[in-house]
Amino acid sequence: MQLTINVPDDRIAFFIELAESLGFKVENEIDHTYPSQEQIDAAMIEHKKIQEDPSYCLDWEEARKTLKFA
Q: Where are the domains of the chain?
A: 1-33, 35-70
Q: Name the more confident of 9 and 52.
A: 52
Using left for φ > 0, alpha for ψ between -120 and 50, and beta otherwise, residue 23 falls in: left
Least confident of 15-19, 37-41, 57-61: 57-61
23 — pLDDT class (breaks 50, 70, 90): very high
Polymer length in residues for the chain: 70
The letter for the amino acid at 59 is D
Average pLDDT over residues 6-29: 87
Helices (H), the chain: 12-21, 37-52, 60-66
